[in-house]
Every structure is written in C-alpha cells, then in structure tokens.
C-alpha cells in the first residue's frame, strides 16, 4: 500500500474472496440432479468463482487506490437489500413471485422509472428465466416453503 492510500479496496477484495468462498461451500450443498449431474449447482458455483476472481483482482489492483468513492454506497446498499430479500423470498414464496418482485426493484435501483417497463419486467423476467433455466436447461425450480405459484399454475 502506498503512503496516503486507503485500505478500503483491499478490504473489499478480501470481503469478496470470503463471500465467494462461503458461496462456493454453500453451492456444494445443492443436491445433484436425478442423474448425478451438477445441474442446479452449476450457476451458483460459477457466480461464486466470479466473486473470488473479482476479489483477487480488487485486492491486487488496490495498491494505487487512494480515494474511496462513496456516492454509490446508497445504491450498493439498496441492491444488497434487494438481493438478500430476493434469496429469502425464493425460499418463502418460490422463484416466480420472488423474481416478479426483485426484477423491477433492481431495475428501479438502476434508474428505470417508467411504470410500464417495470411492470413488463415483473412479467417477462420470471417467464424468460423460467423458460431458459427450468424448461431448456432442465434445472428444477426452487419451490416456496409457504406458497408457490407453480403449485397454482401446475408447473411444480
């Protein structure tokens, strides 16, 4: 670290690496599919590996960093709240309803303000992701503990 530089980028790098390791360990707990393949485990593992690689890159590139950008912290915090809420909602009410709520929330955080576009995201994102992951890739959708729309529409 250079004189006058902030340790924050290195801390962020280490945090990303630790989160990636935790996500990797958690992903390994996802059951194999009925044929013994990784199936639903593949995408969380890819995301976990990406977190680790980003953490390493952040840590290595932190040497010359001296200013911590704070103006984006509220946006980062809002996105973190949405992502944690999304993971909880998937386990509580299933993938479709959770995605229908999280997609427009995430788009609003990134500046989409048109109600018609947000409503379209609430419908099209769950539909599109359902088709790609659960129909085309054959990944079993996570079902909600309390309620799941797939039970109602006959998809689960």
Q: What is the pLDDT of residues 115-151, one digit of tens each?
A: 999 999 999 999 898 888 877 877 777 777 777 676 6
Q: Long-range CB contacts (< 8 A, 24+ apart) of 116-125? A: 125/99, 125/100
Final residue before a domain boundary, out of 68, 83, 118: 68
CA–CA separation, 10 vs 118, rounded Å?
36
Please check whether residue 5 is in contact with residue 63, taking contact to mean a CB–CB distance below 8 angstroms: yes
Q: State how far the Cα of 129 lies from the Cα of 136, in Å rounded to an integer.
A: 10
pLDDT band, residue 154 (cuts 50/70/90)? low
Please tell me whether residues 16 and 60 are part of one structural domain. Answer: yes
- Residue ending a domain, among 32, 49, 68, is 68
- With residues binned 3-state (H G I as helix, E B as strand, rest as coil), the percentages for the chain, rounded to 5, are 70, 0, 30
- Return the pLDDT at 117: 95
Q: Residue 115 — φ and ψ, nearest 5°? A: -55, -35
- Domain match, 83 and 128 both: yes
Q: Which of 29, 52, 68 is the last residue of a domain?
A: 68
Same-domain status, 144 and 86: yes
Give CA angle at 123 (117, 128), nearest 5°: 110
In sequence order, the 6+-apart residues with CB closer than 8 A to the CB of 92 are 98, 144, 145, 146, 147
Choose the weakest-confidence range: 31-40, 50-59, 113-122: 31-40
Domain encompassing residue 4: 1-68
Whole-angstrom distance, CA of residue 45 vs CA of residue 17: 13
């Amino acid at each position: 670290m250079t004189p006058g530089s902030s340790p924050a980028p290195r801390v962020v790098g280490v945090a990303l690496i630790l989160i990636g390791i935790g996500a990797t360990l958690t992903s390994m707990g996802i059951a194999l599919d009925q044929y013994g393949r990784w199936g639903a485990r593949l995408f969380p593992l890819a995301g976990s590996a990406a977190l680790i690689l980003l953490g390493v890159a952040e840590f290595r590139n932190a040497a010359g960093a001296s200013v911590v950008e704070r103006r984006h912290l509220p946006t980062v915090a809002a996105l973190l709240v949405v992502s944690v809420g999304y993971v909880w909602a998937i386990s509580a009410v299933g993938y479709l309803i959770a995605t229908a709520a999280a997609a427009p929330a995430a788009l609003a955080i990134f500046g989409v303000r048109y109600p018609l576009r947000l409503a379209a995201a609430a419908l099209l994102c769950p539909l599109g992701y359902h088709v790609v992951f659960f129909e085309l890739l054959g990944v079993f959708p996570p079902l909600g503990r309390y309620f799941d729309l797939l039970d109602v529409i006959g998809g689960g």
